Structure 1
Amino acid sequence: MMKRLIAVMVLLCAGPSALAVEPPRDFVPPPPSMIPNFREQSRDVVIELGTYAKKRNPAFQVLMRGGSELLVKGEQEMDWDDLHDPTGTNFMKRLPLRSVFRPLVKVLDGIVMDGLYCGPYAFDNKPLDEVLKARRDLDLELDAEKKRGIHRPPVAVEMGPFSNDPAEELRKYNDLKQKQARAEIQRRETYALDAIRSEGRNVLAIEMCDKPADRDAAYKGAIRDRVTPFAKIGTGPLDETPRAHPAFENAKEILTVANARNWLPVLRSDRFGTKGKFVEAIAETNYDIVLVDVAHRSAELLVKADISRLKFKKLGPRRLVIAVMPLGRAYDWRWYWQKGWEVGNPAFLYALDEGPGTYITDMGSGEWRGLLGKYLGGIMDLGFDGVMFDDVGTYQWFEELMPLGG
Structure 2
Amino acid sequence: MKSTLLIQLLIISCLACSSDDDEDVLLADVDYRQEMRNYVIGISQYAKANNPGFAVIPQNGIELVTVNGEEDGSPSSEYLEAIDGNGQEDLFYGYDNDDEATPAVDNEYLRAFLDVSKNAGNTILTTDYCFTPANMDDSYSQNENNGYISFAADHRELDNIPVYPAAIHNENAQVISALDQAQNFLYLINPEKFATKAAFIDAVTSTNYDLLIMDLFFTDGTVFSASEIDQLKTKANGGTRLVICYMSIGEAEDYRYYWQAEWDSSKPEWLDAENPDWAGNYKVKYWHPEWQAVIYGNDDSYLKKILDANFDGVYLDIIDAFEYYE
Name the TM-score class by shorter chain: 0.7 to 0.9
Task: Verify the 8 A CA contact 1:242 1:282 in the aligned structure 2.
Answer: no
How many Å apart are 1:272 and its aligned residue?
Answer: 0.9
Q: Answer yes or no: is 1:216 the counterpart of 2:170.
A: no
Q: 2:38 aligns with which of 38, 44, 48?
A: 44
Deviation by residue 1:332-390 (Cα, 9 ceiling, x = unmatched): 11122122223762222111112111100111110011111011111111100111111
Q: What residue in structure 1 maps to residue 119 of structure 2?
A: 198
In 1: Cα distance, 2:45 partner to 2:96 partner: 32
Q: What residue in structure 1 maps to residue 287 of structure 2?
A: 364
Q: What residue in structure 2 maps to residue 62 of structure 1?
A: 56
In 2: Cα distance, 1:344 partner to 1:219 partner: 47
Deviation by residue 1:218-275 (Cα, 9 ceiling, x = unmatched): 1111222221110033x52111135484222110000111111110011111111112
In 2: Cα distance, 1:319 partner to 1:75 partner: 34
Instruction: Describe the SS at the equivalent of 1:282.
Output: helix
Q: 1:101 aligns with which of 69, 76, 86?
A: 76
Q: Answer yes or no: is 1:231 the counterpart of 2:231.
A: no
- The one-letter code of the counterpart of 1:391 is I
Percent of residue pairs bearing the same amino acid type: 29
Structure scoring higher RCO (CA < 8 A, sep ≥ 6) equals 1
Instruction: Describe the SS at the equivalent of 1:207.
Output: strand
In 2: Cα distance, 1:334 partner to 1:74 partner: 34
Q: 1:240 aligns with which of 160, 166, 171?
A: 160
Q: What residue in structure 2 maps to residue 167 of structure 1?
A: none
In 2: Cα distance, 1:305 partner to 1:218 partner: 35
In 1: Cα distance, 2:69 partner to 2:282 partner: 28
In 1: Cα distance, 2:112 partner to 2:220 partner: 35
Segments of 4+ in structure 1 off by > 4 A? 26-29, 185-188, 242-245
Task: Verify the 8 A CA contact 1:69 1:188 in the aligned structure 2.
Answer: no
Q: 1:393 aligns with which of 309, 312, 320?
A: 320
Closer/same/farther in 2, CA of residues 384 and 279 from structure 1, 3 Å limit: same
Q: 5 Å matches for 1:1-40?
A: 30-31=24-25, 34-40=28-34
Closer/same/farther in 2, CA of residues 75 and 385 from structure 1, 3 Å limit: closer
RMSD: 2.7
Task: Verify the 8 A CA contact 1:245 1:286 in the aligned structure 2.
Answer: no
- The one-letter code of the counterpart of 1:316 is G
In 2: Cα distance, 1:294 partner to 1:246 partner: 24
- The one-letter code of the counterpart of 2:286 is M
- The one-letter code of the counterpart of 1:225 is N
Q: Answer yes or no: is 1:288 the counterpart of 2:189.
A: no
Closer/same/farther in 2, CA of residues 252 and 99 from structure 1, 3 Å limit: same
Structure 1 unaligned runs (5+)? 1-25, 77-96, 127-177, 400-406
Q: What residue in structure 2 maps to residue 301 of structure 1?
A: 223
In 2: Cα distance, 1:278 partner to 1:33 partner: 44
Task: Verify the 8 A CA contact 1:320 1:385 in the aligned structure 2.
Answer: yes
How many Å apart are 1:211 and its aligned residue?
Answer: 1.7
Structure 2 unaligned runs (5+)? 1-18
Deviation by residue 1:116-136 (Cα, 9 ceiling, x = unmatched): 2213479xxx9xxxxxxxxxx
In 2: Cα distance, 1:350 partner to 1:343 partner: 12
Between Structure 1 and Structure 2, how many residues are aligned? 297
Deviation by residue 1:78-125 (Cα, 9 ceiling, x = unmatched): xxxxxxxxxxxxxxxxxxx71211111111111111122213479xxx
In 1: Cα distance, 2:173 partner to 2:302 partner: 33
